[in-house]
Structure 1
């Protein structure tokens, strides 16, 4: 019998431990994680979170002698079941999920598009459309503070990040 993907339910916040223990037993598993921006202690940071908290995907054959040892692996509670049968996932779905996580995490880490203090930015929408301003600081996940010269006075004004782009130098 060829290996299949099974879903296991892990103890709370012990997915990484369970994955390490499975790896030590020679069992291949997949723990989907994504990078998200969060505000921690007033600062915006990229953190890694479980896509499906408390769940792991395990690739193994039911005839393998290691299959029965999975339930007693430290960090794992049990296999996910529907009635009396253990839940399986098609290979193609797990491959798509792996690819999706890889692409998402690669994009989330790339900070080339991030604005830095002093960058010139152009406002793309609203009453200030077309005006160039100076980037000051991020104001949460979706907004930023800009220095805008109005009537020969510098003003700090908050704008949506989606309404900004780096100005041509």
Structure 2
């Protein structure tokens, strides 16, 4: 990356500071982008549609090498995401693709499946299959297909990833 060349970089922010950091960067005349999606939240007394960041604790900023230190001094900024010791960069086309997706689709959710892989032993921590143990057979969006061994038969269940706990050496217990 040339020093004068401005690239899109990924910033890691304090939890729930994405919109604040985005505004602070814009106030400093940086080109920043925090993709927001509308979602319905229910409180005890009402339902409300609010805008939440698509990527929790992440946003994008376009800057050159010299501007990085100014960005790091912004309240709420934790660090730049790096790859092989250099800031991770995205090209304009990738940023535009994210902008288009956020603009044209309403039911979008970024889901981290970094803790769940095919072949992992898991335990159900919520719902009607509470405490059942099984193995991840397939990942389909927000859901996983899990094989549950029980009384000499295999039961395949499609379950939301949030209802699972990764359990190392689960079958040894």
Report the TM-score range of the alignment, normalised by the length of the smaller protein: 0.5 to 0.7
The alpha-carbon deviation at position 72 of structure 1 amounts to 1.3
Instruction: Say which SS state the counterpart of residue 75 (structure 2) adopts.
Output: coil
Could you tell me the TM-score, scaled by structure 2's length?
0.55
The corresponding residue for 2:72 is 71
Q: Distance in 2 between matches of 1:16 and 1:39?
A: 21
The corresponding residue for 1:91 is 92
Shift >3 Å, 4+ stretches: none
The corresponding residue for 2:24 is 21
2:57 to 54, 58, 69: 54
Q: Distance in 2 between matches of 1:67 and 1:82?
A: 16
- 8 Å Cα contact 1:14/1:75 also seen in 2: yes
- 8 Å Cα contact 1:15/1:56 also seen in 2: yes
Are residues 1:45 and 2:54 paired?
Answer: no
Which consecutive residues of structure 1, in runs of 5 or more, have no partner in the other structure? 109-169
Report the aligned-residue RMSD: 2.1
Aligned length: 105
Deviation sequence 1:68-98 (CA, Å, 0-9, x none): 2111111101100123111011211110111
Which consecutive residues of structure 2, in runs of 5 or more, have no partner in the other structure? 109-173
Larger gyration radius, structure 1 or structure 2: 1
The corresponding residue for 1:100 is 101
Are residues 1:82 and 2:75 paired?
Answer: no
- 8 Å Cα contact 1:35/1:104 also seen in 2: no
The alpha-carbon deviation at position 66 of structure 1 amounts to 2.6
The corresponding residue for 2:13 is 10
The alpha-carbon deviation at position 42 of structure 1 amounts to 5.7
